């Protein structure tokens, strides 16, 4: 092999390695999502459907019939209109108006929480360190306690789903390539959208993410 060919092979080796690493993470994430969704759906299926979940199913049906702004509805001070209602709309569109929609949405929300928490914990770490970080975070959330907390985490709509946009914002702050001048605008839009559905975002989102943004002031390279 000539010297030029060796140089080309040496230069392309890291790129190929990163591509294989990304492919492994994509396949692993899809497999984990399928397994988690199956398990959480089984757990959610044995919980009772309360009025909160039933109300969101009916709201989703009304939206699908053209009442997008829910005109004429009386909603609570925590409506989940921009957090969990869109999920209920998507599931109701395919499954129809039935109690199982609440179980499917609960399982889907918790699956997203586990996966997003794993990616946030992984951060910009790669290789074994990144894997260990992700597994530790996922392991902490993996199995809800089989008594009271299950009814909250997998029994219907609650503030649990509010963590999804917060984790998405943390990923955006962590993975965004430099320059990052658009981040404050993107963060403000995402937080404002989420606050409409759940004012708890003002505490768990605005305060904590503002602190995180201050810690991320130094430009960092792009991440997968």
Tens of pLDDT, residues 110-120: 999 999 999 99
| The pLDDT value given to residue 124 | 82
Tokens 């129809």 belong to residue: 96
What average pLDDT does range 43-51 have in this prediction?
87
Structure pTM?
0.81
Q: In the prediction, which pLDDT does 98 show? A: 92
Give the count of alpha carbons within 13 A of 145, CB side only: 4
The pLDDT confidence band at residue 33, using thresholds 50, 70 and 90, is very high
Break the chain into its structural domains and give their ranges: 3-158
How much is the pLDDT for 193?
92
User: How far from 106 is each of 7, 47, 77, 183, 208, CA to CA, in Å?
Assistant: 52, 10, 21, 30, 25
Going by C-beta distance under 8 Å and a sequence separation of 6 or more, which residues neighbour residue 98? 57
Q: Which of 82-96, 105-119, 134-148, 205-219 has the lowest mean pLDDT?
A: 205-219
| Residue 82, pLDDT score | 92
Q: Quick one: pLDDT band at residue 215, thresholds 50, 70, 90? A: low
pLDDT tens per residue across span 91-106: 999 999 999 999 999 9
- 152-168 pLDDT, tens digit per residue, is 888 888 888 888 998 99
Residue 213: its pLDDT value, please? 57
CB 118 within 8 Å of CB 36: no
Q: Which tokens is 70 given? A: 């829910």
């Amino acid at each position: 092999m000539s010297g030029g060919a060796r140089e080309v092979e040496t230069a392309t080796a890291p790129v190929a390695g990163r591509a294989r690493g990304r492919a492994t993470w994509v396949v692993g994430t899809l497999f984990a999502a399928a397994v988690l969704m199956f398990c959480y759906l089984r757990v959610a299926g044995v919980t009772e459907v309360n009025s909160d979940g039933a109300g969101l199913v009916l709201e989703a049906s009304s939206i699908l019939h053209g009442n997008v702004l829910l005109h004429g509805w009386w909603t609570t001070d925590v409506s989940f209109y921009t957090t969990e209602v869109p999920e209920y709309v998507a599931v109701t569109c395919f499954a129809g108006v039935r109690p199982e929609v609440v179980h499917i949405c609960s399982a889907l929300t918790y699956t997203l929480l586990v996966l997003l928490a794993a990616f946030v914990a992984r951060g910009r770490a790669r290789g074994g360190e990144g894997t260990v970080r992700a597994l530790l975070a996922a392991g902490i959330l993996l199995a809800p306690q089989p008594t009271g907390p299950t009814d909250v985490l997998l029994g219907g709509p609650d503030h649990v789903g509010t963590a999804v946009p917060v984790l998405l914002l943390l990923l955006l702050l962590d993975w965004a390539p430099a320059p990052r001048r658009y981040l404050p605008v993107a963060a403000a839009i995402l937080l404002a959208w989420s606050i409409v559905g759940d004012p708890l975002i003002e505490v768990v989102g605005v305060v904590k993410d503002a602190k995180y943004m201050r810690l991320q002031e130094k430009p960092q390279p792009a991440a997968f």
